Chain A
Amino acid sequence: MADEGGIVKKFMFVNRKPPYGTIYALESLEVVLISAAFDQDVSLAFIDDGVYELTKGQNTKGVEMKNFSPTYRALEGYDIEKLYVERESLEERGLSEDDLVVDVQVMNRAEMADLMAEQDVLLSF
């Protein structure tokens, strides 16, 4: 649509919930995938418990739910490559970048706030 002269806006999906306990994390991912069809400038932020969406080694057999963590690795194929993770949120949870299932850009809280401030649209999950 950018080629057709459409307006491109900056969309940020803000993920603050852990996976599986509620439907928020999965719903966010569904909307992100839909947004890929509209050729917008899409980014994903993972803060607070949202960082748990990206943990390696999720095995949902025992709870009989769909493990959707591999989908974050497929986002690149939809030209969604801006994944931002807040350092403080990782540290509070004893996690590091090595514990995550996909390559991300880790930044501090102030940098995350700056990034949020420059968005046109923020969608919160």
Chain B
Amino acid sequence: MLHTVNKSPFERNTLKACLAHAKPGSAVLLIEDGVYAALADTAISPLIQQALSQVSVYALGPDLDARGVAKKIIAGVKVINYAEFVDLVVEHPNTQAWL
């Protein structure tokens, strides 16, 4: 299953809710304000670092670039483009958009 998260982890509990429901082996894609969760050395980073042992975590590059934060990504989080976003959707049987 592919999960997408589009809210800032500092403002909403969307990421936490997603990670609590993401089964091992599933994929979590951070988009829009959700990409702030992909950044290293923040109060939220440990949450993603822990999740990485169970799920694959991706962040959408154009959203990171827009926010000026593309340089400080947590090791293990894969940065992808729009075409690869489409590939992820195709590869997984279903998608849940956490809003």
Where the two chains meet, the residues of A that have a C-beta atom closer than 8 Å to any C-beta of B are 16-22, 48-49, 52, 55-63, 65, 67, 69, 92-94
Contacts and interface: CB of A to CB of B under 8 A. Distances in A.
B4 to A, nearest CB: 13
Contacts, number: 76
Interface stretch (B21-29, B57-65, B86-94): B57-65
Contacts of A49: 8, 10-11, 33, 36
Nearest to A91: B43
Dominant secondary structure of chain B at its interface with chain A: loop
Interface of B: 6-8, 10-11, 32-33, 36, 39-43, 45, 61-63, 65-72, 82
B10 A21 contact: no
Given A18-B36, A52-B36, 19 more contacts: A18-B33, A20-B33, A20-B63, A20-B66, A49-B8, A49-B10, A55-B67, A56-B68, A57-B68, A59-B65, A59-B66, A61-B62, A62-B63, A62-B65, A62-B66, A63-B62, A93-B43, A94-B39, A94-B41
